[in-house]
Amino acid sequence: MNRIDERFKKLKEENKKALIPYICCGDPSVEDSEKLVYALEEAGADIIELGIPYSDPLADGPVIQAAGLRAFAGGFRLEDTFKIVKNVRKNSQIPLVIMVYYSSIIGFGKEKFVELCVDADVDGLIVPDLPYEEYDELKPLLDETNVYMIPLVALTSEDRIPMLVKESKGFVYCVSSLGVTGVRKEFDTRIDSFVAKVKEATDTPACIGFGISTKADVERFDKIADGCIVGSAIVRKIFDSKMNLDEIKAFVSSLK
């Protein structure tokens, strides 16, 4: 059983919802990324999403784009992601999901990328720029492994939900609103019915991301979903606090 499945099984038994923080690998440094994983786990994270910086991040808002630029300025390379995961695996079994643009995978080599995921013991992949129609470019390689392909389902694809989630594993990433990642003051009014349709179509847990930044947001969405993904707010806290782990942990704990 994949670690993601184990975590959701445990959460269901405890009647709890998943908190899934996102960090940008290499921001502020590769070494700090490893420290952040431990800090987030200590603060109550259930699964951690590791974003691989990309030069043209279509789904990322300004906060995460800036983090990616800082990572590149510090010399980050894609291979460093696997170094982080391997080091973490010496000390922790927290589920780790990589968010990576398909263009990066292609540039690196699909087979080689999947091999490194398996070797490092990654639990899942989120590929925001890979449309469902092109899943066959990558999914067959992953299906031979224990690395899950996490589907990203947007509000604009309501009529395609059954097709998009029919073979889903791990969790379904429900995009809360149109546009890029980042803190939002309000969310699309269709989100409740949208998540309900996802949950009708699959038994795979449904988690909501994009724009979630406060405890109130988490409480709001935990009522309708199986977990929340928090990205930009955490990346901003890492930057604003100058990598103060106590401040970062306090913020993440406050979301639980």
Q: How many CB atoms lie within 10 A of CB 12?
A: 13
Question: What's the distance, CA 20 to chain centroid?
Answer: 7
- Among the listed residues 5, 41, 46, 60, the single catalytic one is 60
Give the three-state DSSP class for 12: helix
**H/E stretch holding 21:** strand 18-24
Q: What are residue 99's DSSP bridge partners?
A: 51, 126
Helices 30-42, 79-89: crossing angle, 10 deg rounding: 40
**Residue 188 bears catalytic tag:** no
**Residue 186 bears catalytic tag:** no
| 149, 117 contact by CB (below 8 A) | no
- Among the listed residues 27, 49, 123, 217, the single catalytic one is 49
Residue with tokens 């291979």: 79
Residues classed as catalytic: 49, 60
